């Protein structure tokens, strides 16, 4: 924010981090504005900001904030809460957001495995397409089986961390 007044608590280094992490999320497939809003929330002091604060920090329109938080809410990466004694909403990212996200993905993997196995039956087990879909189903099944132990190991590891 060279030559401009920095937003309180939001210096150049934080701004660069937010934009860099947002670019990584965008590269991985998340919508660009949603990536920026998520990164800004993640980098905020208490993990929560109002629409006006997000708009000011990211220098985007309130409409862009609205679309981004709608998407982030739909994919359960942020939640909306009301400021006590106010009509303003705050958008919050929780410290365990990744754990919760991957826990939900476990159920998605199970559904994918079923659909993929049905696809193998429809395509034929010995056809090239059937073999490709079968390998995809087995990979998803492997991930599904590994996810529970992976998440359990994370819980144990997190308990050893001094993260406040």
What average pLDDT does the structure give for the chain?
88
153 and 104 assigned to the same domain = yes
> pLDDT value at position 155?
87
Q: Is the pLDDT of residue 5 over 70?
A: no
18 and 73 assigned to the same domain = yes
Distance CA 45, CA 47 (A): 6
> pLDDT value at position 134?
97
76 and 20 assigned to the same domain = yes
> pLDDT value at position 99?
80
Residue 78 CB neighbours (<10 A) = 27
Q: How confident is the model at residue 9 (pLDDT cuts 50, 70, 90)?
A: low
Task: Name beta bridge partners: 80.
Answer: 91
Q: Is the pLDDT of residue 83 over 80?
A: no
Q: Residue 143 domain-assigned?
A: yes
78-88 mean pLDDT:
84
Dihedrals φ, ψ of 45, to 5°? -55, -50
Q: Residue 6 domain-assigned?
A: no
22 and 59 assigned to the same domain = yes
87 and 40 assigned to the same domain = yes
Q: Residue 109 domain-assigned?
A: yes
Residue 129 CB neighbours (<10 A) = 12
State both tokens at 110: 């199970």
Dihedrals φ, ψ of 50, to 5°? -85, 170
> Which position has the higher pLDDT, 106 or 66?
66
Q: What is the CATH number of the domain that holds 45?
A: 1.10.10.10
> pLDDT value at position 149?
87
How many domains, the chain? 2
State which residues form the domain around 115: 97-160
16 and 75 assigned to the same domain = yes
110 and 150 assigned to the same domain = yes
> pLDDT value at position 1?
41
137 and 86 assigned to the same domain = no
Min mean pLDDT across 32-41, 99-108, 125-134 is at 99-108
28 and 75 assigned to the same domain = yes
> pLDDT value at position 47?
92
79 and 137 assigned to the same domain = no
Q: Which long-range contacts (CB under 8 A, 24 or more apart) does 4-11 make?
A: 7/56, 7/57, 9/44, 9/45, 10/57
131 and 69 assigned to the same domain = no
Q: Is the pLDDT of residue 97 over 60?
A: yes
Residue 41 CB neighbours (<10 A) = 27
Q: Is the pLDDT of residue 2 over 60?
A: no
85 and 46 assigned to the same domain = yes
Q: Residue 3 domain-assigned?
A: no
> pLDDT value at position 8?
52
């Amino acid at each position: 924010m060279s030559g401009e007044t920095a937003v309180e608590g939001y210096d150049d280094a934080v701004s660069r981090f937010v934009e860099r992490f947002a670019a990584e999320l965008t590269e991985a497939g998340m919508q660009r504005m949603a990536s920026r809003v998520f990164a800004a929330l993640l980098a905020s002091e208490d993990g929560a900001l109002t629409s006006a604060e997000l708009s000011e920090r990211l220098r985007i329109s309130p409409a862009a904030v609205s679309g981004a938080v709608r998407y982030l809410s739909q994919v359960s990466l942020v939640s909306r809460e009301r400021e006590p004694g106010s009509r303003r909403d705050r958008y919050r990212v929780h410290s365990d957001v990744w754990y919760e996200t991957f826990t939900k993905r476990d159920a998605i993997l199970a559904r994918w495995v079923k659909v993929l196995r049905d696809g193998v039956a429809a395509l034929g087990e010995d056809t090239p397409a059937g073999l490709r879909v079968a390998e995809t189903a087995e990979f998803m099944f492997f991930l599904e089986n590994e996810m529970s132990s992976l998440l359990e190991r994370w819980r144990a590891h997190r308990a050893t961390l001094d993260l406040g």
